[in-house]
Structure 1
């Protein structure tokens, strides 16, 4: 389950920024996770519940925004919504879709004290 290592990486990122930006506690955390990032949201929530215990994010509200997958079809020159990598273009049916978005993972916002 790679979601546990993602959650641990998020906590490490928060701890690093707490040192450089001088905050002691994270009250709310907003994450932006792309639909094509390969992250199971329920597993990530569970992992975050586990790894935030006894850290600066213990008890923080965690908000996860799912970002839809986006692509560009090289065959029909159209922007398309992509739900899985290597799917056919929903407009022309060809398999020449290049992913242009929705594969990112980022901490979008923090509320700290």
Structure 2
């Protein structure tokens, strides 16, 4: 793997939410024929509907002059779309090794 170099950019978040298909039975759609109840010629019509709901949000993307501006923009986006994103940060291997070497030097174990 090669290390990433250059300008840090905000991640592009594909914000498409698709809800599961659901089925409902409309109790009000049950129709009973009252004219032939005595002769047990009752007719009941049941209507079942199946619907899929798809909701799309605008994409969160762009370049920001600072991390503070990025976090402010992300917070506004989360508020507008009612979505929450967990931001993870990573350290490069070189940074991690440098921190470990510094800790070892302070302890005298290098």
TM-score by length of 1: 0.28
- Tell me which protein shows more helix as a share of its residues: 2
Higher relative CO (Cα under 8 Å, sequence separation at least 6) belongs to 1
TM-score by length of 2: 0.28
